[in-house]
Chains A and B, each alone.
Chain A
Amino acid sequence: MLDKELKDIWRNSSQKEKIKFDLSRLLIDLNTKMEHLEKTIRRRDFREITACVIGFFLFGYFAYEIPFPITKAACIFAMFYFLYVVYRIKKAERKDSESGLSLSFRDQLVSRKIHLTRQADLLNSVLYWYVLPPFIMNIVFILGLGDPTVYHWEPRLLHLLPLTTPEKIKTIIILALFYSLIVWLNKRAVQKTLNPAIQEVKRVLKELENDLKSSTFDV
């Protein structure tokens, strides 16, 4: 078979379907899709920021209301933590969302590998930047709770606070389990989704690099 025949078979393969564009609507449709995508991202960020703002004011209220100094300090740290999370979300928003699709095949794979590895590192380290700070604050908050009668403190929701040692231990165990679940879910996402994708990118890059080496050898 000749090269020309091969190219003819290839060229004719687009005859299966005829593609028609309504050019008067194409860009309008594409822009609508893009806006929809951006709105979805904005809505997700808005939900996360709203949760942080609620958390900030809730712990602000706790810091004002709760008389125990250690718990008060934990509440103030929690408020700073919520501000930090908002900062991270805003920073991620500002980051250029360039997809790298305009790059060459090879550069795009390298850029994808870097991006996926960063994501995997981020999820693998949630224990340190996402879980431990609030967990430690929660522990300080709980351990700082003392005897309300000493401060003549009688808020309406007093019965919800773990004031006795067994209640405190029980609450800390529940929180530890909850935070462990978060760590596990993130690690699982890395194992199930990100690691296979990284391996796949590495495989194709290796193919390309081996090809380069063998081609150089051939030359």
Chain B
Amino acid sequence: MSNQPEQTFEHAIEANKDRIYRICRIYAVSPIEPKDLFQEVVFQAWKSYPQFACRSSIGTWIYRIALNVCLRSKMRLDKENERKVQVESIQFLPNTEGEDPAQKEKYSALRECISTLTESNRTLIILYLEELGYKEIAEVMGLTENHVAVKMKRIRAQLLDCITNKLK
């Protein structure tokens, strides 16, 4: 039977799986697939879990881990990341309904627009799209709330401008 911290971890991963996957989808660079990155995030989160100090919410902590793992993978900062972690108890099933073509087009446009941003702006906008408050974004990024607020205004305008042009 699982004890309390283990259950907390399981629940946190279950509750945040879609968020982690969305981040992985943005950062996965061939030959690494979003699902490889997802498994790596879950593995690294479990590895780092003893260091989780409850100073922030577990959701915010998972964002930190996900972004840090994804960034390291993208920048090839870890040799270990080149090795794929396969966790058999995590399954990825293709959505039977299939992806709506209009939605797919919009997502491609959004992805392209996000990729034009600088690395730090990209991370900020991802957290914003995840509907994190400025305080939480500041915590994840290691910036002040004020800086996040000022920057976000500019990045949002840039992103909206880009996507509007793409979807014209």
Contact residues of A with B, CB < 8 Å? 1, 3, 6-7, 9-31, 33-34, 37, 98-109, 112, 116, 197, 200-201, 203-204, 207-208, 211-212, 215-216, 218-219
Contacts and interface: CB of A to CB of B under 8 A. Distances in A.
B64 A34 contact: no
A14 B160 CA distance: 21
A169 B20 CA distance: 62
Contacts of B167: 1
A7 to B, nearest CB: 6
B31 interface: no
A154 B150 CA distance: 83
Nearest to B24: A14
A12 B159 CA distance: 18
B140 A33 contact: no
Give the dominant DSSP class at B's interface.
Answer: helix
A197 B72 CA distance: 10
A11 B129 CA distance: 8
B85 interface: yes
Given A103-B64, A104-B140, A107-B142, A34 B25 contact: no
B68 A14 contact: no
Contact of B87 (A12, A29, A100, A104): A29
A102 B142 CA distance: 11
B2 interface: yes
29 contacts: A7-B129, A9-B106, A10-B129, A12-B107, A16-B25, A18-B92, A19-B38, A20-B91, A21-B13, A23-B14, A25-B89, A29-B88, A30-B87, A31-B46, A33-B43, A33-B87, A102-B48, A104-B64, A104-B139, A104-B140, A105-B67, A105-B68, A105-B120, A105-B141, A201-B75, A203-B119, A211-B121, A211-B147, A219-B150
